[in-house]
Amino acid sequence: MSEKKNHKINPHIHKGRFYNKADENCWPHIVPTLDIVFEVYWKTFRRKAVGMDHWCTPTVPPRKSVDPLITWIGHSTFLIQIAGINIVTDPIFGDLTFLFKRLMKPGVALHDIPPIDYVLISHNHPDHMDAAALLYFKKHPATHFLVPQGNKRWFTKRGFERVTEYNWWESDTFKTEDSPCTFTFLPAHHWSQRGIFDFNKTLWGSWMITILGHSIYFAGDTAYSPHFTAINKEFPSISCALLPIGPCEPNHRMKLTHMNAEEAGQSFLDLQARTFIPMHWGTYSFGTDDHEGPYDRINKWWTLQQLDLEKKLIILKAGQAYNLPDLIELVPPQPFFETML
């Protein structure tokens, strides 16, 4: 395992807990979270349920792909196929709880997922580290699970064998049939908790996949912060950034740990990436905004920015897959799926 040197942003550790910064404490996260759960549930209970299955085009992906093929399955789950290897990010395929049910079907059914070589986990919240999905992938003995520091214990207690945990800026390079693949664990501005007493006992973060001349960035779950600029300094040529755009509201609560659509757009500019694929929206009702609100807002932001032709906004339906070299030829700001309907 190698480590990036001379970088300023690192997690703060105090009494066995991780923090984004030295003066941070738990209450700015825990109290708003409880408040949001009540507020979201109350609004969901009062408003008419609106399904999102029109945003799903179920597909069966190929078993392998040499060219980079990125499929959005929903929420923060992507299937990334490149150089003959299959990578899944933050896998979840079902309902989260009886309060937070899935609004749209997964773009790829779990039984249609090809054998996975690497599972990338950004943090331990259940909508990003789903036990049911992980236990399914455990059935494939060759699958390697890459997790933030402190999470390996959860996996080993359940019989997972190929698990490696990482601190920010640590990386590993693995051999593939066509090209070496490097995974680098990077900062995010978030928090962790899975039980009652384990607040921030494990780290959170984001991932960079570097292979075949491409750098594909998976942001995980995060608030807007200077870490995006720091990542750009280490990775000045990012082919594609997978960035969360919701939940957006209530902003005074969400902004502590989540980006809204406009902040996601700014983070894309900070990263200086070439292609922007939104995620973390439309799959679960985690905010008080409408389910399509983040989509509407990122479209409006993009149009107002009038970005140059080298920048691409690619809004995928769940199940849609694109070959990254082909994406570079697209013309913004029109979302790609609209040109295909």
Reported as a single tens digit per residue, the pLDDT across 184-243 is 999 999 999 998 888 899 999 999 999 998 999 999 999 999 999 999 999 999 999 999
Q: 290 Cβ partners below 8 Å, 6+ apart?
A: 50, 296
- pLDDT tens digits, one per residue of 25-61: 665 555 555 555 555 555 555 555 567 899 999 999 9
Q: 182 Cβ partners below 8 Å, 6+ apart?
A: 171, 172, 173, 174, 208, 209, 210, 211
SS3 content of the chain, % helix, strand, coil (to 5): 25, 20, 55
Span 146-166, mean pLDDT?
98
**Which one is predicted more confidently, 179 or 286?**
179
Q: Is the pLDDT of residue 180 over 70?
A: yes
pLDDT classification of 181: cutoffs 50, 70, 90? very high
Q: Is the pLDDT of residue 300 over 80?
A: yes
CATH fold of 25-340: Metallo-beta-lactamase; Chain A (3.60.15)
With a pLDDT cut of 70, the percent of the chain lying above it is 84
Query: Position of tokens 């923060």?
Result: 76
pLDDT at 296: 95
Query: Position of tokens 């079907």?
Result: 105
DSSP annotation string for 75-106:
TTEEEEEETTEEEEES---S-SSSSS--SS--
**Which one is predicted more confidently, 52 or 151?**
151
**Which one is predicted more confidently, 87 or 304?**
87
Report the alpha-carbon distance of residue 130 to residue 287 in Å, rounded: 20
Span 101-119, mean pLDDT?
97
Which tokens sit at 198? 């384990």
In terms of Cα–Cα distance, which of 78, 135, 155, 88 is closest to 116? 88
pLDDT classification of 332: cutoffs 50, 70, 90? very low
Span 266-277, mean pLDDT?
96
Q: What is the residue extent of each domain of the chain? A: 25-340
pLDDT at 318: 97
